[in-house]
Structure 1
Amino acid sequence: MSARVLVVGDVMTDVIVMPEGPIVKGSDRRAKVRSRPGGSGANQAVWLGAMQAEVVFAARVGADDLHMYENYFRGLGVIPMLAGDRELPSGVLVTIVDPDGERSFLTDRGANLNLSSADLPGSLLDGIGMVMASGYSFFAPGPRAAVQALFAEARARGIAVAVDPASVGFLVEVGPAAFLDWTAGATAIFSNESEAEALTGVVGYAAQMRALGKRFETVLIKRGALGAAIGGRDGVRVELPAPRVDVVDTTGAGDAFAAGFIAAQLAGADEAGALARGIAAGAKAVQSIGGQPG
């Protein structure tokens, strides 16, 4: 298997809002407000680059931002294959972080909504060992068709395909059956317990893993502070705890986990070793603000 990974997903500007207490409707609340690059696909690509993995990132941004983003990703060890959109600006995500680290999101996906098959030609797969796609790419018709075509080409070439559901809210909105149909043929899924429950209708990561294993060869379930597990239709094969750390911001922790796991796997690690590296990356991510390594 080639050690190069292709990531497909959103590029966003993350506006992170950390109020000092509960938001007061109709009045003020002091808060820290920070702006930095983000987006599920972008986060995964940058974390992979930080782990010295060979990573290609395909996405769509506002035309005015194209060169800025190309330089940004190159500087972080990522090969950018970006398309510039002249109709819509780059996406923006407002993240409101509660004092306990829990997050709420306001999303304007912008140019990401116009991702097309022309942005994802089959040539992107040359020399690729794995394709990783963010679930956000499946929640709009145009990007969904483009990613599904890329998945089909990857499967025809024998390239492993992984997907991250990305959003419980969007899963509930479109319906779990639709999402599972859209991602048919993916070989692996990276899901947290809330996403897994939405997709399967069952509670408990072991039961969720068996249910998702009927659709995906490999199932990874992220359990936050409790660690993570990997398995399939026969249940859990390996589960490991997470280290205790001070949580500052959980934005991008799942993206870091996926990157850590994939980087380790492409480097030849077994499932336990790859799971451990994924957990370590997720733990590192929650200790700083933003979804990308500082």
Structure 2
Amino acid sequence: MTAGRVLVVGDLITDVVAVLTGALATGSDTAAAIRFGGGGQAANTAAWLAAQGTPVTLVGAVGDDDAGRDRVAELERAGVDCAVTTYPGRATGTVIVLATAGERTMITERGANLRLAPPDVDAALAAAPDARHLHLSGYTLLDAESRPAGLRALAGARERGLTTSVDAASAAPLRRVGAAAFLSWVRGVDLLLVNADEATVLAGGMDPAAQGRALSASARRIVVKQGAAGAVWVDRDAPVTAVPARRVAVVDVTGAGDAFAAGLLSAWLDGAEPAVALGRAGDLGALAVSRIGARPTP
């Protein structure tokens, strides 16, 4: 169990996951297994952290609706403390996920997540004197409306002496805001997580170790996630560490990166060496892809 609380800042949504039985038949019907439940990069990571025994608080926003109340209740049952602000007039966010065995496509309405504001973050930081680390979902930075909250989260964490990490979130919105802008927002974080597509957007088409070294100008440590090819840890002050992925049958990749982040953080904050931290992250990622849904099984 990690000593000290982790604050996770970012999206809490409803996932509508459709795991397709075959290729999408555009304009016609495609059979699928469909599941409704809690989602959102930050909320998923918080749930996986709680499942590892890490004290964790989610800082987020929902609408004043049944969906928002259900999403918060799910997390509380999973052991997550919720510093979630309710915003009337905005619906709780929803994502439709079209998943195949190896990929997922997300159709997103962020809803009340866009209303997350700096005072929400400051209140959560003030209410968690036992916090030692803040993890920020990149989605909070990638939309102009929620960006001030994301920037305040990183600044407020540093003011209180917390370590910080950011998950880059998604390649398409990263392209829209541009690599230079995003890297300026995350400059100085202790750990930046990127998948292969995000690394290419931010650092260009190099090998993962070279991408990590390029990105280490902005963050002290970089983890490049390569899916079935494993992951690479690049530290400014140490050799590169590469760990292969576990081989498992893939059912649904939704939330795999969030589980990976939780495993990585729980191990790293416990003082684990990079190879051990990547191994624990890979174990949780493998567990996540082996079944439908983005959260740990209750």
How does the TM-score come out when normalised to structure 1? 0.95
Corresponding position of 2:53: 52
Corresponding position of 2:74: 72
* 2:144 aligns with one of 141, 144, 162: 141
Query: Any residues of structure 2 matched to 1:121-200 within 5 Å, and which?
Result: 121=122, 122-200=125-203
Which consecutive residues of structure 2, in runs of 5 or more, have no partner in the other structure? none
Q: Which letter does structure 2 place at the counterpart of 1:230?
A: W
Corresponding position of 2:102: 101
8 A contact 2:209–2:240 mirrored in 1? no
Corresponding position of 2:264: 261
1:70 and 1:286 mapped to 2: Cα distance?
24
2:237 and 2:205 mapped to 1: Cα distance?
16
The root-mean-square deviation of aligned C-alpha atoms, in Å, is 1.7
Corresponding position of 1:111: 112
8 A contact 2:186–2:219 mirrored in 1? no
User: Bigger shift: 271-280 or 231-240?
Assistant: 231-240
Corresponding position of 1:15: 16
- 1:18-37 deviation digits (Å, cap 9, x = unpaired): 22222223222222221111
1:197 and 1:234 mapped to 2: Cα distance?
23
User: Bigger shift: 160-169 or 226-235?
Assistant: 226-235
Segments of 4+ in structure 1 off by > 6 A? none
Task: Give the deviation of 1:119 after TM superposition.
Answer: 1.3
1:152 and 1:263 mapped to 2: Cα distance?
22
8 A contact 2:13–2:71 mirrored in 1? no
- 1:42-98 deviation digits (Å, cap 9, x = unpaired): 000000000011101110011124443332212101111110010111111111112
8 A contact 1:214–1:232 mirrored in 2? no
Query: Any residues of structure 2 matched to 1:18-29 within 5 Å, and which?
Result: 18-29=19-30
Report whether the alignment pairs 1:270 with 2:273.
yes
1:150 and 1:25 mapped to 2: Cα distance?
41
1:34 and 1:111 mapped to 2: Cα distance?
22
Corresponding position of 1:246: 249
* Aligned length, in residue pairs: 293
Task: Give the deviation of 1:234 after TM superposition.
Answer: 6.5
8 A contact 2:188–2:220 mirrored in 1? no
- Between the two proteins, what is the percent identity of the paired residues? 40
Task: Give the deviation of 1:251 after TM superposition.
Answer: 0.8
Report whether the alignment pairs 1:43 with 2:65.
no
8 A contact 1:213–1:234 mirrored in 2? no
Task: Give the deviation of 1:187 after TM superposition.
Answer: 1.7
Task: Give the deviation of 1:2 after TM superposition.
Answer: 5.0
1:243 and 1:137 mapped to 2: Cα distance?
30
1:30 and 1:262 mapped to 2: Cα distance?
37
8 A contact 2:59–2:82 mirrored in 1? yes
* Cα gap change, 1:274 to 1:154, in 2 (>3 Å): same
Which consecutive residues of structure 1, in runs of 5 or more, have no partner in the other structure? none
Q: Which letter does structure 1 place at the counterpart of 2:85?
A: A
* 1:203 aligns with one of 187, 206, 212: 206
